[in-house]
């Protein structure tokens, strides 16, 4: 804990190039090989629960086992700002002219793939690292430790801090480990102090941008079993709505900074369920000051991009799904609405597991440079899948351009 706090407050010494860990370093490769060997051994010799750990995305019994073991009991008490003297707003810090943030979702799987993504993020050494939710199977204390807090866990804590949103899987164990085990480890620099993340939402800001984490996870569960068949709408809690209105002041017409939302669940999708209630709530928060936003989410285990869209009673948003952090990546084509807004999705096949095609894991690396943001979507081979640039103008409007597209990525 002390070492991490010192890391946030002290400017790091300049390191020579050979002191950085190369992605092909033998220690990393040996670790990954060891993980693969352990999974192969589990498949041959392990218990039913361990066998499905390697390929849990294709085995419903594995999820059911952990769900039944952890789901019952009272939901964790909701935490919100102000709390312990913190208002949840954090000025963005950097040691250079640009600020870097790594966004990754559905990453916490404790697999060779998630270790690989963790190693890549570590080598880019961003100022901030943010997890957009879902700790598998069901966000237990042991799963939090294995992915984030154990000495050998592969989560990388950014130079100025780390933050974490909740997904539905954290709430399958009632959110207890998320609030009591994970958030106390999420440290972020606030001025000359180190703050601890106090709630499942937050705002990072500078003179040009506001990056706002929304909690769609807490209300993503209701009654055991029924919640799997009848999906909750993931509405934002009233405490979060009040914070957006009264502390963040999203409805302030004089604030022209660019708005970026982060959440676990999608506002809209061509692959899974929409969550229009969240956009409706945000429209009410914005009031007359509403303007289009850039919105990153996870939940779907894929990389996909959407043009500006919004429901008639909700806000307008450009959507980016980055749910390909650690779970086996889905490559199925779109099968529902909003096809006119779908721009790209990564349908490349990495390998085939149990008669199912699996795509490439990855993360998004944002570089903030004044009113511009360069975003590189990087896969597990350290290749840029798509690169884009966003700018905010003096009226708070957003514009973008695609800089690079991998030749095998599907343009819809």
| Mutual angle of helices 276-286 and 238-246, in 10-degree steps | 30
DSSP β-bridge partners for residue 378: 363, 384
Is residue 149 predicted with pLDDT exceeding 90? yes
User: Which has the minimum average pLDDT: 50-59, 152-161, 263-272, 376-385?
Assistant: 50-59
Give the mean pLDDT of the chain: 86
DSSP string, 172-189: TTTTHHIIIIIGGG-EEE
What pLDDT, on the 0 to 100 scale, is given for residue 73?
Answer: 72
350-378 residue pLDDT tens? 988 777 889 999 999 999 999 999 999 99
Q: What percent of the chain has pLDDT over 70?
A: 81
Q: For Cα atoms 406, 354, 298, give the angle at the middle one, nearest 5 degrees.
A: 50
| CA distance readout (Å), 142 to 69, 109, 133, 139, 154 | 13, 12, 16, 8, 14
The pTM of this model reads 0.86
Look at domain 89-411 and name its CATH class: alpha beta
Q: What percent of the chain has pLDDT over 90?
A: 72
Report the pLDDT averaged over residues 221-245: 85
Cα 190 to Cα 80: distance, rounded to the nearest angstrom: 18
Cα 31 to Cα 112: distance, rounded to the nearest angstrom: 8
What does the domain layout of the chain look like in residue ranges? Answer: 17-72, 89-411
184-227 residue pLDDT tens? 999 999 988 999 999 999 999 999 999 999 999 999 887 676 66
What pLDDT, on the 0 to 100 scale, is given for residue 286?
Answer: 97
**Residue whose C-alpha is closest to residue 98's, from 373, 379, 341:** 373
What pLDDT, on the 0 to 100 scale, is given for residue 355?
Answer: 78
Is residue 62 predicted with pLDDT exceeding 90? no
Is residue 319 predicted with pLDDT exceeding 80? yes
292-311 residue pLDDT tens? 999 999 999 999 999 999 99
């Amino acid at each position: 804990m002390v070492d991490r706090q010192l890391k946030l407050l002290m400017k790091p010494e300049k390191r020579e190039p050979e002191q950085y860990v190369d992605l092909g370093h033998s220690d990393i490769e040996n670790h990954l090989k060891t993980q693969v060997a352990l999974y192969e051994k589990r498949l041959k010799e392990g218990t039913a629960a361990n066998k499905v750990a390697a390929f849990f995305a294709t085995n419903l019994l594995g999820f059911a086992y952990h769900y039944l073991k952890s789901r019952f009991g009272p939901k964790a008490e909701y935490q919100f700002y102000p709390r312990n003297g913190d208002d949840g707003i954090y000025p963005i810090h950097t040691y250079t002219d640009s600020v870097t943030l790594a966004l990754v979702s559905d990453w916490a799987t404790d697999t060779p793939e998630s270790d690989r993504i963790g190693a890549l993020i570590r080598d880019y050494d961003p100022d901030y690292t943010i997890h957009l939710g879902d700790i598998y199977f069901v966000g237990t204390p042991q799963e939090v430790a294995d992915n984030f807090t154990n000495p050998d866990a592969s989560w990388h804590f950014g130079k100025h801090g780390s933050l974490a949103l909740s997904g539905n899987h954290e709430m399958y164990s009632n959110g207890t480990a998320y609030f009591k085990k994970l958030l106390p480890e999420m440290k972020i620099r606030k001025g000359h102090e180190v703050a601890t993340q106090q709630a499942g939402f937050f705002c990072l800001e500078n003179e040009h941008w506001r990056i706002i984490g929304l909690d769609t996870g807490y209300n993503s569960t209701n009654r055991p079993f029924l919640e799997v068949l009848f999906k909750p709408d993931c509405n934002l809690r009233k405490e979060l709505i009040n914070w957006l209105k009264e502390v963040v002041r999203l409805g302030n017409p004089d604030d022209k900074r660019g708005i970026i939302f982060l959440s676990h669940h999608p506002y809209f999708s061509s692959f899974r369920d929409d969550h229009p209630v969240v956009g409706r709530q945000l429209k009410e928060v914005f009031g007359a000051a509403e303007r289009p936003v850039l919105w990153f989410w996870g939940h779907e285990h894929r990389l996909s991009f959407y043009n500006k869209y919004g429901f008639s009673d909700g806000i307008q948003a450009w959507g980016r799904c980055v749910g390909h952090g650690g779970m086996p990546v889905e490559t199925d084509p779109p099968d529902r609405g909003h096809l006119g807004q779908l721009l790209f999705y990564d349908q490349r096949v990495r390998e085939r597991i149990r008669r199912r095609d699996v795509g490439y894991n990855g993360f998004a690396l944002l570089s903030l440079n004044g009113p511009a943001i360069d975003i590189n979507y990087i896969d597990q081979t350290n290749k840029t899948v798509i690169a884009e640039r966003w700018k905010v103008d003096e009226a708070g409007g957003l514009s973008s351009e695609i800089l690079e597209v991998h030749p095998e990525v599907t343009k819809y």
